[in-house]
Amino acid sequence: NAGVTQTPKFQVLKTGQSMTLQCAQDMNHNSMYWYRQDPGMGLRLIYYSASEGTTDKGEVPNGYNVSRLNKREFSLRLESAAPSQTSVYFCASSRLAGLEGETQYFGPGTRLLVL
């Protein structure tokens, strides 16, 4: 099992450009998440999908959109990138959000630089 995979690993964008970050999991998990990690800030939830067909905003959704393409895949789109979106983006999945003691499994991350 590959677990959670993310593409691309690195990306450099110019302000105003758009891009989509891809995430896939092969653990048959129902719930998927997108986080960003900035120095000294911890991981912050951008969007999550509790189950296929549903998406909800997290703590910092502005400037992002998501698509839960199917049970395996959850993409994150930046429509018009801004320097403030320079960060490391992690995708995660779990069996089912809401379960007591639920554990999340993370992908390797995408490092994004917006100039």
| Pick 17 or 51: Cβ nearer other proteins | 51
| Pick 56 or 79: Cβ nearer other proteins | 56
In the complex, least distance from residue 11 CB atom to other proteins, rounded to whole angstroms:
15
**Where on the chain is the footprint of other proteins (CB under 8 A)?**
31, 33, 40-45, 48, 50, 56, 58, 90, 97-109
In the complex, least distance from residue 16 CB atom to other proteins, rounded to whole angstroms:
28
Picking from 5, 48, 51, 1, the residue whose alpha carbon sits closest to that of residue 24 is 5
In the complex, least distance from residue 31 CB atom to other proteins, rounded to whole angstroms:
7
Q: What would the two tokens of residue 25 be?
A: 């999991």
**DSSP-assigned beta bridge partners for residue 37:** 43, 88
Q: Phi and psi dihedrals of 98, rounded to 5?
A: 110, -15
**DSSP-assigned beta bridge partners for residue 45:** 35
| Pick 85 or 104: Cβ nearer other proteins | 104
| Pick 48 or 64: Cβ nearer other proteins | 48
In the complex, least distance from residue 39 CB atom to other proteins, rounded to whole angstroms:
9
Q: What is 27-74 written as a DSSP string?
A: S--SEEEEEEEETTTEEEEEEEESSTT--EE-S--TTEEEEE-SSSBE
